[in-house]
Chain A
Amino acid sequence: MALWKLNPMDFTKMNPTRQAKIKAAPAKPLPATNSYVPNQIANALHPKVQYLKVVKIEEEACNAKRYYLAPNEEKGTKALAWFSAGQYLSITLKIGSMALTRPYSLASSPRESLEGIYMLTIQKVEGGLASQFIHDNWQIGTEVTASEPLGNFTYEPLRDATTVVAVVGGSSITPFRALAMAIADGDEDCDLTILYGSRTLEDTIFQKDLKELEANCARIKLVNIFSHEEREGHEHGFITAELIKKYAPKGAFSLFVCGPQVMRKFVDKEIETLGLRKKFIRNELFGEYFGPAKEADYPENVAPAFKVTVRIAGTEQTITAPSDVSLLRSLEAAGIAAPAHCRSGECGWCHSKLVSGDIYTPKSVDGRREADLLYGYIHPCCSFPLSDLVIEVPPVAK
């Protein structure tokens, strides 16, 4: 065989061959995208929005309430998206003229979502705008708009040790109720020891459920640590390195840490002394970042408030933004609906362009990509103004 033996005239046959192939094809409408298996699974796992309805409400300890949510079929949600224990829903709330979102961890078992039930447990926080609103307004029948399940605070068998030690304070227990149930259901394959810090037994959310899970599943262990009372058979004080060592297995374990900023300040220092590899420490900030002025690298003499010009999809308006409040909160306070999910710097859903001006982002919650820094992009949920600004924010998808 030699090159000259290939017939060059074959080249002239290509187009007629193609035309014949096209001519022979039907001129019928194309299949819908959702007729293909990968698209079906993608849509089931990641619906753009989930329309839900409150179907049951129960009182919990510590000023918390359980809200059971089911699909709102009239609005088009026929089934709930499956989730991994540890994920959250971003709930959209309309409070007066404000449109805002809040992330709440799913506290129910993933299995229950197949039966059409999600459960969120929401603690009423003093001065907490969203939690107050929910406690005051959500009733049986209330319509709730939620995102798909989100977040990466999940057990990953190829990454994590076979034992998870949860370090958790107060109402941040929600993702671990889900994880314990998923283990009991056989949907997650790991052992779980929960080190649960609360004020008193009475202030302990899910105590009965967790005790039951512990009793019925050998893979689950609960350790209560009460800061404000001493009780026989329970630990007293705070979650220290010593306490973690006491209950952690001898071999490898993954530490899953979840709690509000105030608890994390103490616990993170304790954990540091354990000298664990980074891969064995998983973190979830429960609640938003607040109070940038306390950071060592926060500049001095920052004015109390600035003018922020906000551009959204061809519109423009100017608002006033206090320097100690995140830009996202200032947008919401001004009645501007801005995209947001995790509200703690990680998910990047609020990714926006800083056209001009300076902002401060605390290092601990700076989840931006490298190129974002080169081209002036910010996450408004963790950005605090240091000057007058012009920002370009994406609209919330309709």
Chain B
Amino acid sequence: MDKHFDVIVVGAGNGGLAAAANTAKAGLKTLLLEKHNIPGGCATSFRRGRFEFEPSLHELCSVGTADKPDLVYKVFDDLGAKPNWCYETGHLFRAIVKGENGYDVRLEAGIEDFCNSVDAAVPGSKASVRKFVDLKPKIDAAIDYIYATKGNPNGLVMLLKHSDFMRTAGHSVEQVMTACGIPEKAQNIICTYWGYLGVPTDELNAMHFLNMLYGYMVDGAAMPKHRSHELSLSLIDVIQKHGGEVWYNSEVTQFLYNDDGSVAGVVANEEKLYSKEVISNVIPHNVFNMSQLDKIPEQNLKLANAREFGISVVTIYLGLDCTAEELGLEDYTVFIMGHPNPRVQHDTRAEDGLYIVNCLNNVIPDSSPEGTCTLFFTMPIFGHDVPKDLKPQDYKKYKNDLAKKYIEDAEKVLGISIMPHIEEISVATPVTFARYLGTPEGTIYGYKLSGWDNLMARIAGEKADYAIPGLNFCGGHYIRGDGYSCAYIMGDTVAKKVVKRLKGGA
């Protein structure tokens, strides 16, 4: 058997799948290695009894439709992958803050409707919200200019023509919103989405947040009809149709290097496999730990040491023997928070911070059998929030205690009865994600998009940050951070660069 490939992709997560599908379609001899028996990483599904659960996806932003395709739709469509996209119609989300200064609001999709729904909750806020949202086209114009100059924009042109971009990209969400004159309550309502990026909005880069927010406002939220497993299999199909190899149960245990420091290949299942380039969906921490230390450029090792891990989650999957209607829940996404402020939500995450309740049947009615529905709870917590003295034998109780607490809280807040209807239950924690993803601390968001390590700064540092020749990265730990859409887009982008290098024309 030939052990030489043009490209080896390590890890069939969303980034790795999009990357391998691109290189295979471009005619490069591609091998995708995955340690599990199925693809997707977090993008999969699992069955319990008569239910098939979505393990991680809430909704994708920037998908769009066949008539009005956005980035993600195009990534799939250009590859020839045809998942059955479904869309959340009506509102984007419902946000409930408990307590005295609480509120219960629903935000609508579409720019105008979105601003109106914020205004309905905070009268007089519309103009300021609009001002914030209208920064998005200015950002796009600036980025187009930066691309046109191949990353070397003229400072004076930037300052004269794109100063609002610099203001947005150079400050936190909170700073820019405050500068736009958005009242605090309206800020809190809009910033409900912080959990999707894992960083509270006083630290999160404004441009990054606005990009995501805009993606949801304009396109609405999208998801595949048959859980994320469908997205993953649709990309596997592309890879195999174009002659790419996909090997499951094939965990990479070592990265191989040439004398000149460039990557030579990997070891999987005790076998050496060689390629011209490697695309790693695996987090640099793990890659470096599987590499000879002297092959890691000092700057890259320092960066890894400087970084904090991104957030993980506790998730509860419930199969109920009643319909969503019988349950009395009409929303797909409900954010429930103990306090209106994102920073406080973040700091009290282990007690009463923020959690999300999703009912997939409210978008895809037949996503569970007739007469049933599923609920999906998500609480953002860090891997280091798991108690240090937790013993393996007490882990089941730890999970059930968490589940009980959140289910009972949701029953109270939403005024519905969940507990008597539980036909299937499964609970995941950072331990679960550590098990399936193998990431340090069970992070699902790679590295924290900290103030200093934000999207814009990562873009500027890209060349120096990924300095091993032939070794490319994609996935939640990469430049754009986590989220299905980001991972697909970056996998696509990185692979296209590899294709250009290997097939010439660059």
Binding site for B on A (CB under 8 A): 1-15, 17-19, 21-33, 36-39, 41-46, 81-82, 84, 110, 114, 152, 156-159, 187, 277-279, 313-315, 339, 346, 348-351, 353, 367, 369-372, 374-375, 377, 394-398
Q: Which 4 A-B pairs rank lowest in CB-CB distance, beginning with the nearest?
A: A11-B170, A25-B306, A8-B166, A279-B423
The B427-462 residues at the A interface (CB cut-off 8 A) are 429-435, 438-442, 452-454, 456-458, 460-461
- Establish whether residues A396 and B403, one from each chain, have CB atoms under 8 Å apart when the complex forms: no
A156 to B33, CA, bound (A): 36
User: Cβ of B312 < 8 Å from any Cβ of A?
Assistant: yes
User: Cβ of B164 < 8 Å from any Cβ of A?
Assistant: yes
Nearest-CB residue, chain A, relative to B459: A15
In the complex, what's the smallest C-beta–C-beta distance from A242 to chain B, in angstroms? 26
In the complex, what's the smallest C-beta–C-beta distance from A342 to chain B, in angstroms? 12
In the complex, what's the smallest C-beta–C-beta distance from B298 to chain A, in angstroms? 5
Q: Which of B66-74, B227-235, B354-362, B487-495 contacts A (4 or more CB under 8 A)?
A: B227-235
User: Cβ of B148 < 8 Å from any Cβ of A?
Assistant: no
In the complex, what's the smallest C-beta–C-beta distance from B175 to chain A, in angstroms? 7
12 contacts between A and B (CB under 8 A): A7-B167, A8-B164, A14-B170, A18-B453, A26-B305, A38-B312, A38-B386, A158-B404, A313-B247, A369-B47, A370-B229, A371-B232
Q: Which of B106-114, B209-217, B389-397 contacts A (4 or more CB under 8 A)?
A: B389-397
**Are A394 and B227 also in contact (CB < 8 A) when A8-B159, A25-B305 are?**
no
- Establish whether residues A278 and B50, one from each chain, have CB atoms under 8 Å apart when the complex forms: yes
Main secondary structure of the interface of B (DSSP, over half): helix
A185 to B400, CA, bound (A): 19
- Establish whether residues A395 and B247, one from each chain, have CB atoms under 8 Å apart when the complex forms: yes
User: Cβ of B169 < 8 Å from any Cβ of A?
Assistant: yes
- Establish whether residues B181 and A42, one from each chain, have CB atoms under 8 Å apart when the complex forms: no
A24 to B236, CA, bound (A): 42
**Are A8 and B170 also in contact (CB < 8 A) when A17-B457, A375-B233, A375-B237 are?**
yes
Q: What residues of A have a CB within 8 angstroms of the CB of B35 in the complex?
A: 397
A158 to B302, CA, bound (A): 46
Nearest-CB residue, chain B, relative to A36: B441
- Establish whether residues B302 and A38, one from each chain, have CB atoms under 8 Å apart when the complex forms: no
A83 to B178, CA, bound (A): 52
User: Cβ of B304 < 8 Å from any Cβ of A?
Assistant: yes
Q: What residues of A have a CB within 8 angstroms of the CB of B251 in the complex?
A: 397
Q: What residues of B have a CB within 8 angstroms of the CB of A9 in the complex?
A: 159, 166, 170
- Establish whether residues B289 and A374, one from each chain, have CB atoms under 8 Å apart when the complex forms: no
A394 to B34, CA, bound (A): 10
- Establish whether residues A32 and B178, one from each chain, have CB atoms under 8 Å apart when the complex forms: no
The B298-352 residues at the A interface (CB cut-off 8 A) are 298-299, 301-306, 312, 321
In the complex, what's the smallest C-beta–C-beta distance from B159 to chain A, in angstroms? 6
Q: What residues of B have a CB within 8 angstroms of the CB of A84 in the complex?
A: 396
User: Cβ of B49 < 8 Å from any Cβ of A?
Assistant: yes
- Establish whether residues B170 and A369, one from each chain, have CB atoms under 8 Å apart when the complex forms: no
- Establish whether residues A371 and B226, one from each chain, have CB atoms under 8 Å apart when the complex forms: yes
- Establish whether residues A394 and B425, one from each chain, have CB atoms under 8 Å apart when the complex forms: no
- Establish whether residues B302 and A23, one from each chain, have CB atoms under 8 Å apart when the complex forms: yes
A2 to B132, CA, bound (A): 11
A13 to B395, CA, bound (A): 45
A6 to B164, CA, bound (A): 9
State which of B47, B169, B248, B454 has its C-beta within 8 Å of the C-beta of A394.
B248
The B114-139 residues at the A interface (CB cut-off 8 A) are 131
A384 to B392, CA, bound (A): 39
- Establish whether residues A371 and B452, one from each chain, have CB atoms under 8 Å apart when the complex forms: no
- Establish whether residues B181 and A348, one from each chain, have CB atoms under 8 Å apart when the complex forms: no
- Establish whether residues B395 and A37, one from each chain, have CB atoms under 8 Å apart when the complex forms: no
- Establish whether residues A278 and B386, one from each chain, have CB atoms under 8 Å apart when the complex forms: no
**Are A159 and B305 also in contact (CB < 8 A) when A10-B171, A370-B226 are?**
no
Q: What residues of B have a CB within 8 angstroms of the CB of A4 in the complex?
A: 167
- Establish whether residues B386 and A37, one from each chain, have CB atoms under 8 Å apart when the complex forms: yes
- Establish whether residues A159 and B306, one from each chain, have CB atoms under 8 Å apart when the complex forms: no
Q: A22-B299, A278-B423, A370-B45 provided; 16 other pairs, C-beta below 8 A?
A: A2-B179, A3-B164, A3-B180, A5-B179, A6-B175, A18-B453, A33-B286, A33-B289, A39-B438, A45-B392, A45-B431, A158-B404, A279-B423, A313-B269, A339-B249, A346-B47
User: Cβ of B270 < 8 Å from any Cβ of A?
Assistant: yes
The B215-273 residues at the A interface (CB cut-off 8 A) are 226-227, 229-230, 232-234, 236-237, 240, 245, 247-251, 269-270
- Establish whether residues A38 and B404, one from each chain, have CB atoms under 8 Å apart when the complex forms: no
- Establish whether residues A158 and B429, one from each chain, have CB atoms under 8 Å apart when the complex forms: no
In the complex, what's the smallest C-beta–C-beta distance from B283 to chain A, in angstroms? 10
- Establish whether residues B457 and A15, one from each chain, have CB atoms under 8 Å apart when the complex forms: yes
Q: What residues of B have a CB within 8 angstroms of the CB of A367 in the complex?
A: 47
- Establish whether residues B250 and A395, one from each chain, have CB atoms under 8 Å apart when the complex forms: yes
- Establish whether residues B247 and A314, one from each chain, have CB atoms under 8 Å apart when the complex forms: yes
In the complex, what's the smallest C-beta–C-beta distance from B289 to chain A, in angstroms? 6
A223 to B10, CA, bound (A): 55
User: Cβ of B288 < 8 Å from any Cβ of A?
Assistant: yes
User: Cβ of B52 < 8 Å from any Cβ of A?
Assistant: yes
A32 to B290, CA, bound (A): 10
User: Cβ of B388 < 8 Å from any Cβ of A?
Assistant: yes
- Establish whether residues B236 and A159, one from each chain, have CB atoms under 8 Å apart when the complex forms: no
Q: What residues of B have a CB within 8 angstroms of the CB of A351 in the complex?
A: 37-38
- Establish whether residues B431 and A394, one from each chain, have CB atoms under 8 Å apart when the complex forms: no
- Establish whether residues A157 and B400, one from each chain, have CB atoms under 8 Å apart when the complex forms: yes
In the complex, what's the smallest C-beta–C-beta distance from B441 to chain A, in angstroms? 5
- Establish whether residues A8 and B163, one from each chain, have CB atoms under 8 Å apart when the complex forms: yes
- Establish whether residues A369 and B227, one from each chain, have CB atoms under 8 Å apart when the complex forms: yes
A216 to B386, CA, bound (A): 37
User: Cβ of B353 < 8 Å from any Cβ of A?
Assistant: no
- Establish whether residues B227 and A370, one from each chain, have CB atoms under 8 Å apart when the complex forms: yes
Nearest-CB residue, chain B, relative to A113: B393
A328 to B355, CA, bound (A): 43
A395 to B248, CA, bound (A): 7
Q: What residues of B have a CB within 8 angstroms of the CB of A31 in the complex?
A: 440
A39 to B393, CA, bound (A): 15
- Establish whether residues A369 and B247, one from each chain, have CB atoms under 8 Å apart when the complex forms: no
In the complex, what's the smallest C-beta–C-beta distance from A398 to chain B, in angstroms? 5
**Are A38 and B431 also in contact (CB < 8 A) when A110-B393, A396-B249 are?**
yes
Q: What residues of B have a CB within 8 angstroms of the CB of A394 in the complex?
A: 37, 247-250
**Are A18 and B461 also in contact (CB < 8 A) when A25-B305, A36-B434, A157-B400 are?**
yes
A323 to B250, CA, bound (A): 30
A398 to B268, CA, bound (A): 9
- Establish whether residues A6 and B171, one from each chain, have CB atoms under 8 Å apart when the complex forms: yes
A359 to B220, CA, bound (A): 40
Q: What residues of B have a CB within 8 angstroms of the CB of A370 in the complex?
A: 45, 52, 226-227, 229-230
In the complex, what's the smallest C-beta–C-beta distance from B482 to chain A, in angstroms? 17
Q: What residues of B have a CB within 8 angstroms of the CB of A26 in the complex?
A: 302, 305
- Establish whether residues A24 and B306, one from each chain, have CB atoms under 8 Å apart when the complex forms: yes
- Establish whether residues B395 and A45, one from each chain, have CB atoms under 8 Å apart when the complex forms: yes
Counting chain B CB atoms within 10 Å of each CB, the highest count among A346, A369, A396 belongs to: A369
User: Cβ of B184 < 8 Å from any Cβ of A?
Assistant: no
A44 to B394, CA, bound (A): 12
